[in-house]
């Protein structure tokens, strides 16, 4: 995960577009050199986020970042635009030649930090069809972190994942309750046993617990653990990436 610096027009923005792009490329290069399989960019520094929409300045800057990354990085690339701006993420991915997006609110409504977020599976997949982006995969969070799911409390995370699969998702993402918090192993197992699409873990994975989850997921989205001092707000730490990937390579050999 590359957390792109705060973008123009957002409360914490203090850098030019050129600097934002340069910092993103720097982090991505460290990750690629460290041996990761794919890289995703996200506008996490843009807090507080808007609900299901972002301004054209955000789309434009994320496109600028994405296009430069595609020129520089050879591994598969993905994007998420917070909060729940799934169509915008898909448009950027299409323009920049990216391979996947991370979506939220794909099935079932939930109460997010930004307010009530309704599901958008039907609209999003129709939009993907309309712009000729069916080659771009969509992975969605289920029972998303930083959200209340009281409204769907009678629907398990496994049933939520099954609904996403029924609605033609390409893969599902299981997280803990917040950024940097690990997912419940029981929930991961339940989801993995319920769907045939790939299951990814989206938070809290580090060099200490990766072995516990290794057999129960198809992929891992690593953010905080790759950053200096394990803090998502910091830049990528090459040593942390190297140490983590050495464990991953050991597990692959086993």
Q: How many residues does the chain have?
A: 254
Q: What are the tens digits of pLDDT across the range 233-247?
A: 999 999 999 999 999
* pLDDT band, very low/low/confident/very high, at 227 (cuts 50, 70, 90): very high
Domain limits of the chain? 2-253
Cα(46)–Cα(48) distance, rounded to whole angstroms? Answer: 6
Cα(224)–Cα(242) distance, rounded to whole angstroms? Answer: 14
Is this prediction's pTM over 0.85? Answer: yes
Looking at residue 153, its pLDDT comes to: 83
For 77-100, the DSSP string reads: EEEE-TTT-HHHHHHHHHHHT--E
Strand order in the sheet with 219-220: 2-3, 39-42, 77-80, 100-103, 137-141, 171-174, 199-201, 219-220
* pLDDT band, very low/low/confident/very high, at 54 (cuts 50, 70, 90): very high
* pLDDT band, very low/low/confident/very high, at 148 (cuts 50, 70, 90): confident
Q: Which CATH class is domain 2-253?
A: alpha beta
Cα(43)–Cα(210) distance, rounded to whole angstroms? Answer: 25
């Amino acid at each position: 995960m590359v957390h792109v610096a705060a973008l123009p027009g957002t409360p914490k923005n203090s850098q030019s577009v050129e600097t934002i792009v340069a910092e993103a490329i720097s982090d991505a290069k460290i990750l690629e050199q460290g041996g990761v399989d794919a890289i995703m960019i996200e506008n996490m520094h843009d807090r507080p986020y808007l609900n299901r929409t972002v301004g054209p300045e955000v789309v434009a800057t994320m496109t600028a970042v994405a296009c430069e990354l595609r020129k520089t990085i050879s591994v598969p690339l993905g994007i998420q635009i917070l909060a729940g701006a799934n169509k915008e993420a898909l448009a950027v991915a299409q323009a920049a030649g990216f391979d996947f997006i991370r979506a939220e609110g794909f099935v079932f409504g939930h109460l997010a930090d930004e307010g009530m977020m309704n599901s958008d599976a039907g609209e999003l997949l129709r939009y993907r069809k309309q712009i000729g982006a069916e080659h771009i995969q969509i992975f969605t969070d289920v029972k998303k972190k930083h959200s209340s799911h009281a409204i769907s409390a009678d629907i398990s995370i496994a049933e939520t994942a099954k609904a996403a699969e029924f609605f033609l998702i390409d893969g599902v993402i299981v997280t803990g309750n917040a950024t940097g918090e690990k997912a419940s192993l029981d929930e991961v197992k339940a989801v993995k046993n319920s769907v045939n699409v790939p299951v990814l873990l989206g938070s809290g994975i580090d060099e200490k617990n990766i072995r516990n989850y290794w057999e129960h997921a198809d992929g891992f989205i690593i953010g905080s653990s790759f950053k200096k001092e394990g803090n998502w707000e910091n830049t990528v730490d090459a040593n942390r990436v190297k140490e983590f990937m050495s464990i991953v390579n050991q597990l692959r050999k086993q």
